[in-house]
Structure 1
């Protein structure tokens, strides 16, 4: 996204943040298809919801949308589940910003309904009606109904949104080389290695060297060619 458009959409982000109010986080992702290293949050309003800041990396969900070219078949995706770093569940929607069918950005709105859920719970309990306040029954209107977006500015959290943290954090678990390759394969499939700093961070989490991660990636690339 060029600077002029980034400024325009950044102003829109602040406008929507004011109009919608503090329960809505509005985020502008500037996206470079040629090099996701240069993709980042260009503007954000009401960031107390996720704790992210300007220049934070894309989420795993947005990376997956880009890699799968979701934007070619639709202009927006609404009502999918998001999880903040403090485990709060929110409702997320993304509008694709395109120029001649090429993706240049994404405008995301994340709604924190926890306040309303708690109020509803308290009112119903007055009538001795008890519900699970975390069950907000978000029903996506798209094919991402099995996906969850984890909102964090940490590359580590983006990786953990794809791979079970218990596999990487538990030092008592010894992963075989095949298991490590499978983890790298899953991360590569989601496009994680297109983010700056991904290889050294994955190497650290897998407790292997950076050359080992590159070697796994070469094995995966060779397997793809053999299938073709």
Structure 2
């Protein structure tokens, strides 16, 4: 059986769980079921999709793509309690459960994204009240807020082109040199970063990289061969 068909069959067993968790956890928690093999149309089921604006058929996120590239699923059954934010800047408390095949390969991911903006506001209000009445030193209460400031930004999109271009442009923007003036070595460094982030696992990525780096597709393929 082809890997795509096998993985989808394995992951589809979790579809009823998505609706169950969505109802139980409430409309502040998004529940998403990803197929890790079909990355371009990865979302098989979603509950409370208003949190990210995604629907069934949306692609894998950039952060989930990094889990695939780094093979995070080989280290643990899940990644829990990491902080990120939606594309609109809403803080999220997130977790990912890895769904494996019998041979240990990654079939899919079950992800929870919980909105914590109300909780953080309540915490800030409580901290101000405690400061005002002089109960105790509350400096330690702000540690999570600092973590949120330095958190990962997970990109939620409903189409693969937007996801791919977003990753590419975010990497290129960190360079102090415009693509038109980059040396081959500088472009190779960009290529390495893009490969580490799993961009070249996505269909159509070569054409988008070529456009952003002001190079031909043949040149991008040549860079890939060197990597």
TM-score over 0.5 (shorter chain): yes
How many Å separate the matches in 2 of 1:173 and 1:125?
A: 51
Q: Which residue of 2 aligns with 1:178?
A: 185
Q: Which residue of 1 aligns with 2:118?
A: 115
Q: What's the secondary structure of 2:27's corresponding residue?
A: coil
Deviation at 1:125, TM superposition (A): 3.7
How many Å separate the matches in 1 of 2:195 and 2:151?
A: 17
* Cα RMSD, aligned residues only: 3.0
| Structure 2, unpaired ranges of 5+ | 1-5, 133-137, 158-162
Q: Which residue of 1 aligns with 2:160?
A: none
How many Å separate the matches in 2 of 1:89 and 1:189?
A: 26
Deviation at 1:95, TM superposition (A): 0.5
- Number of residues of Structure 1 aligned to a counterpart in Structure 2: 208
How many Å separate the matches in 1 of 2:155 and 2:131?
A: 35
Deviation at 1:136, TM superposition (A): 6.3
Moved more, 172-181 or 88-97: 172-181
| Structure 1, unpaired ranges of 5+ | 139-145, 221-228
How many Å separate the matches in 2 of 1:15 and 1:160?
A: 37
Say which of 180, 196, 202 aligns to 2:209: 202
How many Å separate the matches in 1 of 2:172 and 2:28?
A: 29
Matched, 1:47 2:49: yes
Q: What's the secondary structure of 1:11's corresponding residue?
A: helix
Deviation at 1:16, TM superposition (A): 0.9
Normalising by structure 1, what TM-score? 0.77
Contact between 2:11 and 2:99, CA under 8 Å: does it hold in 1?
A: no
Q: Which residue of 1 aligns with 2:145?
A: 135
How many Å separate the matches in 2 of 1:46 and 1:158?
A: 25
How many Å separate the matches in 2 of 1:158 and 1:51?
A: 18
Matched, 1:84 2:86: yes
Contact between 1:52 and 1:151, CA under 8 Å: does it hold in 2?
A: no
Name whichever structure is richer in helix by fraction: 2
Matched, 1:158 2:196: no
